[in-house]
Structure 1
């Protein structure tokens, strides 16, 4: 199956409610996979937390663990499904939210180091 890229969500997104994502990345860096990939075009990754509200953004140390795990997951999935790791989009204008730290999600596809 050819995927176009990745869609990122936050866990307070109203479209999540138990389904609608393929991988969940917890604040502690734990990764949980849904039994099946559900969208034929994109792989959906949900990050625990609410990046739409400044007061609910995960703490710095939580974000570091979470974004490190998300970056590793994205690199593994890019290798498995032949997707560019640079094709990452937000779900919509409010998800993952205005306070999502895009600059902290660092991925180095050239040498595989994160």
Structure 2
């Protein structure tokens, strides 16, 4: 089965159905990969935090998470050969209403944006 896209989660999500994540982006900037794929159709990426409560784009840790997420999305989409535009929320409530979708800048060229 071909990978179809990426599902975004936050760590406050309670309904992952025991699957886990393929990548976890911590607030300290580390990216923790899973030992094996959790889903053949989608790559699941979780960001540490609760975007249902609030979002502060001025917090350096959150800015770094979003930057790393954009780079990871681009890299994974190239690796598994699908469009980097195929990014979806896990559910209506995850990653939360304050997730900064507008801050998620994915640029297909290797240059500063």
Over 6 Å off, 4+ runs:
none
Match of 1:72 in 2: 71
Aligned-pair distance for 1:16? 4.3
> What number of residue pairs does the alignment pair up?
111
What SS does structure 1 have at the residue aligned with 2:43? strand
Whether the 8 Å contact between 2:19 and 2:38 is mirrored in structure 1 is no
C-alpha offsets along residues 50-81 of structure 1, whole Å, 9 cap, x if unaligned? 00112xx4662111110111111111111111
- Tell me the distance in 2 between the aligned counterparts of 1:61 and 1:18: 31
User: Taking structure 2 as the reference length, what is the TM-score of the superposition?
Assistant: 0.88
Match of 1:96 in 2: 95
Q: Is 1:28 equivalent to 2:28 in the alignment? A: yes
What SS does structure 2 have at the residue aligned with 1:13? coil
Match of 1:63 in 2: 62
After superposition, the CA RMSD in angstroms is: 1.9
Whether the 8 Å contact between 1:29 and 1:68 is mirrored in structure 2 is no
What SS does structure 1 have at the residue aligned with 2:72? helix
The aligned runs of 1:29-48 (5 Å cut-off) are: 29-48=29-48
C-alpha offsets along residues 24-62 of structure 1, whole Å, 9 cap, x if unaligned? 0011221000001111110000000000112xx466211
Stretches of structure 2 that go unaligned for 5 or more consecutive residues are: none
Match of 2:12 in 1: 12
- Tell me the distance in 1 between the aligned counterparts of 2:7 and 2:14: 15
